Amino acid sequence: MFAMLLKILLIMMILSVGSFANDDIDTLFSRLKNYYLAKKSNDTSLIIMRTQAIDGSWKSLNYDFEKGRWPSKHLNRIKSLSSVYELFPTKKDSLRIAIIRGLEFWFNDQARFIHDNWWVNEIGIQREINRIALIVWNEIPENLKEKIIKLYPEVPNRNATNRAWISENVIIRGLFEHNEQRIFSGLNALSTIPVVTNQEGHQIDHTYLMHGRLLYNGGYGKVSLSISAKWASITKNTKFAFSKKVISEIASLALEGNRWMMWGGMVDVMCLGREIARKEGNSLADSYLPLLKNLRDIDSHNLDDYDAWQRNINKDELADLVGNRYFWRGEFLVMRRPFSYVSLKMSSNRVVGSEYINKENAKGLWLGMGVLSIYRHPSDYKNIYPLWDWNKLPGVTSYNQTEQKDRRVTNFSDFSGGVCNQEYCVASMIASRLNLKVKKTWFFFEDYIIALGAGIKGSADLEITTSVDQRLVNSEIVMEQGKIKKDVLYRSKRFWLDSIAYVSLDEKDFLAKFEHRKGNWRSIGTENKKESGDILNIWLTHGINPTLESYAYLIDLNVKLENIFKKQYKDFYIVRNDSNFQIVCDSEEKIWLGTFFSSDTIRIKNVQLGFSEPAIFMLQRKESSYKLFIADPLQKKQTIWFNFSYEEAKKTTMFKSKIEMPKEDQLGSTKMIEFKLGD
């Protein structure tokens, strides 16, 4: 009798566990379905339903227009029908019939319209179908369900963001099949995507790299974040829930990576890869709002940050995040101020500077060669890209060749790096391309940026230029001789536009031209859309085939027009700007910033500095105490010797230190040491 009761109890427990599993699968199905349901009725969907042909097609669609293009347009119409399926109870039967007809038409001709792009076949079509099938799954015939299920992968494959998309499709197949093992398989693969890796994906510095280490936080990174956060929210409080570690990784990529690379409703296109060629590409900040909703749901520890981030997206608070950040894995710098956002996109031969895929980013040859983007307003570069002179990208030294023919372009040099603290930044690179080489360093202060270039060599029989800026015009433009007019080439040592001043520091004239330009997005991508706007272009010329040219200029980010021609900028001085050193010091000698391009020693008044290897450094003094911030731009050295001496009243005090540099995936990050003279 006891044995019989025990057997019954075991059976009940097994059935109970199975019931809980089924309940959790139903919960996931229901939660995901709600993602795709429209919240408001849309009469357009009813018009779409009424104009459908009896075979499930629409006469207004050109199904033979181009291989692979018509399915998405067709499926979009079915998606519109399914999204309002539960909002029109009296039309439910008609909507269901229209949805089934549309799907059957698509499946009957599916093989004919296989796309040339693998992504459409393995990810894109499924993403369209799941928005339809999840809503009407219980209302469609079994043979149609079988066809839908066969579209989806059985196991995860590929890597990084592509793996996230495919893992999601595996999960959805598991939901359709009510297959717990398949759901776990997809979720386990998906949960690895936001975890820090040294392969493609989320890096230790919270950049997101794809396609051979190309900075992609705003594109693929944002997609990975969105998918991961969505499923973390959907699986919350079920047996399928993500671990605390995975949720922490999602939050760190979001808050310490992507949040830094967007400002006031703008996403920095320099972290969008080839998507720079898409109209409205950097106006995608609103698309972060669903992500923020999911982040709040899964991460209660950072609610204040998510709220501040949302206020910034809504342009309610531009000063939500102030400070400096150098991302050493992505070779990307961000400076955020209460009144501005600045980024610097560099690259070495370790990082991809630019890619050309699917006919997008056709002129991106010089991206990654030191593009300096300066925002006083979130719209400062909005849709400017088909109007740009791509030979003169802001901050870049280049010659007149813009077409990118190779799939990926890198810098020939391995010298690139930066150092930041909350007050200052310094970043440096050797920009090297065919027939061109230049050493470049940027210094970032509270209100201004100093840009130095030296050792400029060119042998392309083309004029070499350094672009200072190229931006949309939203105010008058003034130089020392007065306002400038359109379509005239001007020379001056100072220009002013919308609180930004451009100041020559070496007595060389800027050239500037203000003009109205027209363009088409097709010139850089695939969208046939016209664009026009007023553009200011400011640059320096170094002549044809220069040998050792240099430049030095300052960009003041916050100056009134009445002050620009009186301001002297005496709170710093340039120590050296040549092929050996690029160093700046403040007038009180409390901060030294710069680059040693080789092992060397330099004397700066009563201070002597030396490094045993190339280095980018920042040295701050407070009375007799010092902080040294140092990075290895070659990302090769395990140790660097630092020598320092200070002479006062004919007495010399010396300090010497063997600095253990960061290793492995921390290579290139900043090491800080503190010392005190006289100890």
Query: Is a pLDDT exceeding 50 seen at residue 17?
Result: no
- Whole-angstrom distance, CA of residue 238 vs CA of residue 28: 9
Q: How high is the pLDDT of residue 652?
A: 85
Both structure tokens of 475? 């105010």
By the 10 Å C-beta count (0-12 exposed, 13-18 middle, 19+ buried), 459 is classed as middle
Phi, psi of 423 (to 5 degrees): -100, -40
Query: Is a pLDDT exceeding 70 seen at residue 21?
Result: no
279 HSE (CA, 13 A, CB side): 13
Query: Is a pLDDT exceeding 60 seen at residue 10?
Result: no
Asked if 118 contacts 139 with a C-beta cutoff of 8 angstroms, the reply is: no
Asked if 559 contacts 520 with a C-beta cutoff of 8 angstroms, the reply is: no
- Averaged over 30-46, what is the pLDDT? 85
- Averaged over 102-109, what is the pLDDT? 91
User: Residue 111: CB partners within 8 Å, gap ≥ 6?
Assistant: none
CB burial readout 508-538, b (16+ within 10 A) else e = bebebbbeeeebebeebbeeeeebebebbbb
Q: How many residues would you count in the chain?
A: 679
| Mean pLDDT taken over the chain | 92
C-alpha to C-alpha distances, 666 to 215, 419, 441, 632, 661, nearest whole angstrom: 17, 13, 22, 11, 9
Asked if 394 contacts 472 with a C-beta cutoff of 8 angstroms, the reply is: no
Give tens-digit pLDDT for 358-399: 899 999 999 999 999 999 999 999 999 999 999 999 999 999
Of 564, 561, 586, 559, the closest CA to residue 575 belongs to 586
Phi, psi of 145 (to 5 degrees): -60, -45
Q: How high is the pLDDT of residue 6?
A: 52
Task: Give the three-state DSSP class for 171.
Answer: helix
- Whole-angstrom distance, CA of residue 63 vs CA of residue 71: 8
Asked if 531 contacts 383 with a C-beta cutoff of 8 angstroms, the reply is: yes
Asked if 471 contacts 517 with a C-beta cutoff of 8 angstroms, the reply is: no
User: Residue 666: CB partners within 8 Å, gap ≥ 6?
Assistant: 204
User: Residue 236: CB partners within 8 Å, gap ≥ 6?
Assistant: 297, 298
Q: How high is the pLDDT of residue 3?
A: 59
Dihedral angle, C-alpha 333, 337, 341, 342, nearest 10 °: -40
- Whole-angstrom distance, CA of residue 644 vs CA of residue 658: 12
C-alpha to C-alpha distances, 563 to 480, 490, 499, 567, nearest whole angstrom: 12, 21, 10, 6
What is the model's pTM? 0.92
Give tens-digit pLDDT for 591-631: 999 999 999 999 999 899 999 999 999 999 988 899 999 99
C-alpha to C-alpha distances, 26 to 131, 141, 423, 660, nearest whole angstrom: 17, 20, 52, 54
User: Residue 43: CB partners within 8 Å, gap ≥ 6?
Assistant: none
Give tens-digit pLDDT for 228-254: 999 999 999 999 999 999 999 999 999
CATH of 371-676, one of 1.10.10.60, 2.70.98.10, 2.60.120.200, 3.40.1410.10: 2.70.98.10
Query: Is a pLDDT exceeding 70 seen at residue 551?
Result: yes
Give tens-digit pLDDT for 267-309: 999 999 999 999 988 788 999 999 999 999 999 999 999 999 9
Please name the residue that has the structure tokens 């280095």: 615
- Whole-angstrom distance, CA of residue 516 vs CA of residue 503: 24
- Alpha helix segments (H runs only) across 378-496: none
- Whole-angstrom distance, CA of residue 607 vs CA of residue 626: 13
Give tens-digit pLDDT for 411-465: 999 999 999 999 999 999 999 998 999 999 999 999 999 999 999 999 999 999 9
Please name the residue that has the structure tokens 């900075």: 215
Lowest-confidence region among 59-68, 520-529, 580-589: 59-68
- Whole-angstrom distance, CA of residue 497 vs CA of residue 469: 11
Query: Is a pLDDT exceeding 50 seen at residue 221?
Result: yes
- For the chain, the distance separating the N- and C-terminal CA atoms, rounded to the nearest angstrom, is 85
Give tens-digit pLDDT for 450-506: 999 999 999 999 999 999 999 999 999 999 889 999 999 999 999 999 999 999 999
By the 10 Å C-beta count (0-12 exposed, 13-18 middle, 19+ buried), 323 is classed as middle
Query: Is a pLDDT exceeding 90 seen at residue 673?
Result: yes
